[in-house]
A and B are shown apart, each in its own frame.
Chain A
Amino acid sequence: MKIIKFFGIFIFTIFLFGILSRKLGKTPALGYLLNPYEGFLQQSEKKRPDIAMPKNFSSFLKGKAEIQFDEMMVPHIFAENEEDLYFLQGYVTAYFRLWQMDMVTRAASGRLSEIVGDIALKRDRFMRRIGMVIGAENVLKELNKDSTAFKTMTAYTNGINAFINTLGYQNYPIEFKLLGYKPEPWTPLKTALLLKYMAWDLSGRSSDKELTEIRQFLGDAVVNELFPNYPLLMDPIHPQNPEWKNWKPEIPKNPESDWGGFLFNNGITQNFDLPKTEKNLGSNNFVVGGSRTQNGYPILANDPHLKLNFPSIWFQIQLNGPNLNVTGVSLPGAPNVIIGFNQDIAWGVTNVAPDIFDYYKITFKDGSRKEYLFNGEYQPITHKIDTFYVRDKGFVVDTLELTHHGPIVDAKGENFHSECPKDHALRWLAHDPSQELLTFYYLNHAKNLEDYRKALKYYSCPAQNFIFASKNKDIALTSNGKYPLKWKGQGKFTLDGSNPQHDWQGWIPFEHNPFTLNPVQDYIASANQFPTDTTYPYFLHWEFASFERGKRIHDRLKNMYNANVDSLRILQLDNKNMFAEFALPVMLNYLDENQIQHKKWKYTLERWNYFHEPNWVEPSLFIEWYNEFEKLVWDEFYLIKNKDTFELRKPEPVVTISILKKDSENPWFDRKDTPIKETARELLALAWNEAVKNLEKQFQSLEKSVWYQYRGTKITHLAMIPAFSSEILYHGGGTDIVNALGKTAGPSWRMVVQITDKNPEGYGIYPAGQSGNPGSRYYDNMLPIWLKGQLKPILFLENSKQKSKSIISKYSF
């Protein structure tokens, strides 16, 4: 009996230990995770964290080096040679952000299902099928040809791996423990993948399918009327350059003047698996020249609007080595500083978003899909086998079909993404070999305008508006990247993959990229709008960001004199909605008081100054009202098929309001589901009542529908863990507003740099913190400062001996 009892207890004990050591479904092994000595509790960070530097650290380095951390936990790295500098950058970045780096590069390479199982498989397949890995491999080959790039990448990689090698389970970032996997060695390919992920985020979008669908279902006239090739009210980035008219480039001719893409045989499809990125966000940068500033030197500002997450996309750092002293923000996973300043220059970036992402319809020879028609002959299709490891399921194999255009993304009508048509090959500039990393390397080292221009020659994709200011008092902006030579409108619709004239025919020379230097008005600004006016001879795209941010910034800068850092900081926080200023008076003009509820709110809107302050109701009411109006106006854009409603892409709001301004009885205002003929008057009243009803339903009363609650911006953890995410942010701004805070994206880094006759004085903040560890006080300590609209001085040390009260710890090797 006692033996049976013993075995009973023995088996239960083993079972208890065993069950606690195993991952059960989505639940990680609780025995490890809840073990105080090695589980999540180990990520509790003291007030002043001890940065774990291995004892034999100096054996990795060729010379002496030092890392100093300031009160915001920003590392200031000093090294006697550049290899040590980038090694330490890799090490320190991994120390704070290893899981983020791992996750982002897994997402880029289609390997998330290795971690989270088949829930991510379709997304992974899409990322491989759009050629992310192909592009990264090409970039890596190109970078390896350059000894500087090779050394930088190798040193950075070695630094990350040196950190990974110090890790045991107890030191793993919490997300590795929660998701139940361990870090793998870093490779230069991962850095290339990170760059491709940025390219996807900033250039991986296309109107080809959407506009072809509109043409198919509503006709050419609708496309021409509602989707013009040059937008309304545009205030372009670059002042007109008289030289543009003198250039006589050989622009390819449109082979079919009425080209409008191929009609889709299956008609419209929806229910896509991958969400589109948030619309109408972008970035701002602006620089004012010495004639407009208090100290007579330029001031430069930049706030890139990207997805806001914990950990932040940015990691602040100073790199000080031979011939180099630079500070600013870096991308965790890539060496160098991406946006920042050194002793002589400051620079920043916004996205250009030219059309470098085109879909080509493929005509197969037969059902075997082994050959496709091109230039009157059949060409072979290369088949590439892609293997995915899916956690708890095993291996899954996918076949990628490759043409000379690029990969056929959706071969089976799988509806990956709303912009991705079936049986079309993707031509995307990000597939091509390039050396973007060298641009940032040389910008970090640049001393003047000439160096800046040289550095930009290495840059290809995604095209950026590189803004510049120097100690020599030069200000400049280059809308820089590699642009395909296209006929006007090429890529607005899907293209014919069998016709060689539809291929990209060459490149716009670097010297012809839009560039402005020391303009007469002594300021330059970009907000993702059209880079040029219509006298620029090349075609870059038919659509860019709408006019609002660009116009507001121009309006403010025009009248800005005696400027200081605060002048530009306040401009970054500008909450005025220029679209509301354009649209609201017209909308109110046609709003019939006798047909609406809550008339007093009409009077309130009439007195509104168009600012999106966080605790105001007017912005919520205006946006909701406009959205309801838009739905009613563009009812023709909702198609019904098999009882399901499908939505075509709607025209831009500025187009809608322009029509209203011109003619309130335009046929577009007539609803097709009613026998009577409506005008804008009826629609605006209906939309008003619907908007009021929506707000009352969501917030109980209109008074409670304040803007910040309505917008509902939260900064979420990358793994969508609510406990590691923020509450709803109390902050103004909104989409298409200079302070461009949307629901999920916004000013990811605000920086203002005052050039002086000595070192520049920089100020910056991002809405998170340096540490990726949710158990650290440096995880989100910058967020409250960012929410208040304040900036922190960027500590810029001349050398390791310089003393500063901000330095809280030092490590010498």
Chain B
Amino acid sequence: MNIVIFLYYLGCTILTVTLGKLMNQLYPITHWLLLFLGVILGLVFSVPRRMAFFYGFLSSFLVAISYTVMIYTQSPIMTQKFAKLLGIQPVGLILIMAILQGLLLGFASLTGAWLRKVLYS
């Protein structure tokens, strides 16, 4: 695992999420931004494709879980009620949300990495 590349992934994810929240007044856009980010990161960094998926997944997962846990610590009521609505525990809901974010950026990065392979080899 290349820490420098992973830190790029992590930093870009944080920036993208922040941008998404700012642009949110127009439309729920964050996960589409993640798609573009993932493709671009996959294209830019020359890493094995499975690593592209891993970097994407892990960075998005970490950002999402940190944010979710932070919100939960400040105010757990909504998470608890939504978990009750789904019939699961709050911790399960937090994990589902974070894994979902991880998968989104992971697959987007994998797509970018495949595109890089098609274009440059």
> Which A residues fall within an 8 A CB radius of B?
2-3, 5-6, 9-10, 12-13, 16-17, 20-21, 30-32, 34-41, 43-47, 168-170, 174, 721-724, 773-777, 779
Contact = CB atoms under 8 A, between A and B. Distances in A.
Closest 8 CB pairs of A and B: A775-B78, A168-B25, A723-B85, A723-B84, A6-B114, A44-B78, A169-B28, A44-B75
A774 to B, nearest CB: 5
Given A36-B68, A41-B68, A9 B17 contact: no
Contacts of A35: 28, 30-31, 97, 100-101
A41 B74 CA distance: 12
Contacts of A775: 75, 77-78, 81
A775 B77 CA distance: 5
Contacts of B27: 168-169
Question: Which of B74, B82, B118 has the most A CB atoms < 10 Å from its CB?
Answer: B82
Nearest to B53: A9
B52 to A, nearest CB: 11
B59 interface: no
Contacts of A43: 78
22 contacts: A6-B111, A6-B115, A6-B118, A17-B35, A32-B28, A35-B31, A37-B24, A37-B30, A39-B28, A41-B71, A41-B79, A41-B97, A44-B74, A46-B75, A168-B26, A169-B27, A169-B28, A722-B84, A774-B77, A774-B81, A775-B81, A779-B77
Contacts of B30: 35, 37-38
Given A17-B32, A44-B71, A36 B82 contact: no
Contacts of B85: 721-724
B71 A13 contact: no
B75 to A, nearest CB: 4
A192 to B, nearest CB: 31
Question: Which of B25, B81, B85, B101 has the most A CB atoms < 10 Å from its CB?
Answer: B81
A133 B110 CA distance: 55
Contact of B64 (A17, A36, A169): A36
Interface in B20-56: 20-21, 24-28, 30-32, 35
B27 to A, nearest CB: 7
A30 B100 CA distance: 10
Contacts of A776: 77
Contacts of B25: 168
Nearest to A177: B28
B107 A34 contact: no
Contacts of B115: 6, 10
B103 interface: yes
Contact of A16 (B74, B78, B103): B103
B104 A723 contact: no
Nearest to A172: B28
Q: Label chain B's interface by main secondary structure.
A: helix
B68 A13 contact: no
B58 interface: no
B17 to A, nearest CB: 5
B118 A2 contact: yes
A776 B89 CA distance: 19
Given A17-B35, A47-B74, 19 more contacts: A2-B114, A2-B117, A3-B118, A5-B114, A6-B118, A9-B111, A13-B110, A17-B108, A35-B31, A36-B101, A38-B28, A39-B28, A39-B97, A44-B71, A47-B75, A723-B85, A773-B78, A774-B78, A777-B75
A527 B94 CA distance: 50
A119 B87 CA distance: 25
A174 B79 CA distance: 12
Contact of B79 (A44, A721, A773): A44
Contact of A174 (B21, B72, B78): B78
A41 B68 CA distance: 8
A367 to B, nearest CB: 51
Contacts of B82: 40, 723
Given A36-B64, A37-B20, A45-B78, A13 B31 contact: no
A36 B103 CA distance: 14
Given A9-B110, A9-B111, A168-B26, A38 B81 contact: no
B31 A17 contact: yes
A31 B100 CA distance: 8
Nearest to A8: B114
B67 interface: yes
A465 B44 CA distance: 75
Contact of B24 (A2, A38, A774): A38
B70 to A, nearest CB: 10
A132 B82 CA distance: 35
Given A44-B77, A44-B79, A6 B20 contact: no
A209 to B, nearest CB: 40
A41 B78 contact: yes
B21 A777 contact: no
B113 to A, nearest CB: 9
B114 A9 contact: yes
A30 B104 CA distance: 12
Contact of A10 (B31, B81, B111): B111
Given A6-B115, A9-B110, A12-B107, A38 B79 contact: no
Contacts of A37: 17, 20-21, 24, 30, 67
B111 to A, nearest CB: 5
B7 interface: no
B78 to A, nearest CB: 3
A40 B84 CA distance: 13
Contacts of B104: 16-17, 20, 31
A47 B77 CA distance: 10
A169 B24 contact: yes
B91 interface: no
B68 A38 contact: no
B96 interface: yes
Nearest to B111: A13
Nearest to A774: B81
Nearest to B98: A36
A17 B107 CA distance: 10
A379 to B, nearest CB: 54
A779 B78 CA distance: 11
A36 B96 CA distance: 11
Question: Which of B100, B115, B121 has the most A CB atoms < 10 Å from its CB?
Answer: B100
Nearest to A168: B25
B4 to A, nearest CB: 25
Contacts of B21: 37-38, 170
A30 B111 CA distance: 22
B74 A46 contact: yes
Question: Which of B30, B64, B96, B104 has the most A CB atoms < 10 Å from its CB?
Answer: B30
Question: Which of B27, B32, B111, B117 has the most A CB atoms < 10 Å from its CB?
Answer: B111
Given A9-B110, A13-B110, A168-B25, A45 B77 contact: yes
Contacts of A46: 74-75
Contacts of A170: 21, 24, 28
A3 B35 CA distance: 20
B107 A168 contact: no
A170 B67 CA distance: 15
A205 to B, nearest CB: 34
A32 B28 CA distance: 7
A401 to B, nearest CB: 43
B95 to A, nearest CB: 11
Nearest to B99: A34
Contacts of A20: 31, 100, 104
A10 B100 contact: no
A34 to B, nearest CB: 5
A22 to B, nearest CB: 12
A429 B69 CA distance: 55
Contacts of A3: 118
A33 to B, nearest CB: 9
A35 B82 CA distance: 13
Contacts of B20: 37-38
Nearest to A3: B118
A631 B70 CA distance: 58
A721 B71 CA distance: 23
